[in-house]
A and B are shown apart, each in its own frame.
Chain A
Amino acid sequence: QVQLQESGPGLVKPSETLSLTCTVSGGSITSYYWSWIRQPPGKGLQWIGYIYYSGSTNYNPSLKSRVTISVDTSKNQFSLKLSSVTAADTAMYYCARSGDDYNFGYFDLWGRGTLVTVSS
């Protein structure tokens, strides 16, 4: 079955760029929308943004100036870059599938998540 796996550094210094990759296995990345979602320790969920397999994107307005999501269909991967990080960006970061053209907007498949800590 389709599985998602996040990867990337678990520690990022303040003011630097957080970079994560989500690898989709057991299925194709094409024809779907893919999202990043984060959860600070002990807090709720925040949608960061999505990308369509074709490359079109949409970002949370509160993070838009710092976020870039990209896709590599040849590797079945999509990636997140969050620039100028601060301690407030410390969170568990999840990648998730957010539907296709017919069922779009909810997250039916999630990765296990990766904890990213922002600290010097």
Chain B
Amino acid sequence: DIQMTQSPSTLSASVGDRVTITCRASQSITYWLAWYQQKPGKAPKLLIYKASSLESGVPLRFSGSGSGTEFTLTISSLQPDDFATYYCQQYNSYSSWTFGQGTKVEIK
């Protein structure tokens, strides 16, 4: 299985901050990576697919980059609605898809 490792596990930030979350794959996944936002008690919501493609309706302050084994999710100016947990997910192969362990973005 391809292992996905996110860092940091927890991030404290203020409204207006630029926030970056990193996701590393145990082997190359080309650009087959998605990012999700999950709020307490809710299902995850797709933000980014194919490493850098923004899902329809997602604010432009969210962006994704990377290829191979290292990827980042950036929030250009953190908004109150963005405090949540973020997950990366690889879908490189047809055989098994895996998620990172999550990054919780907290209010500083």
Interface positions of A (Cβ within 8 A of B): 44-47, 58, 60-62, 94, 96, 103-108, 110-113
Interface positions of B (Cβ within 8 A of A): 1, 32, 34, 36, 42-46, 49-50, 55, 87, 89, 91, 94-102
Of residues A44, A61, A108, A113, which shows the largest number of chain B Cβ atoms within 10 Å of its Cβ? Answer: A44
Are A108 and B101 touching (Cβ within 8 A)?
no
Are A44 and B100 touching (Cβ within 8 A)?
yes
- Chain B hits for A44, CB < 8 A: 87, 99-102
- Chain B hits for A62, CB < 8 A: 1
- Chain A hits for B49, CB < 8 A: 103, 106, 108
Whether A105 touches B91, Cβ cut-off 8 Å, given contacts A44-B101, A94-B43, A110-B44, is yes
Q: Contacting B43 at CB < 8 Å: which of A46, A47, A104, A112?
A: A112
Q: Which 6 A-B pairs have the closest CB atoms?
A: A105-B91, A106-B34, A110-B43, A45-B99, A106-B49, A47-B97
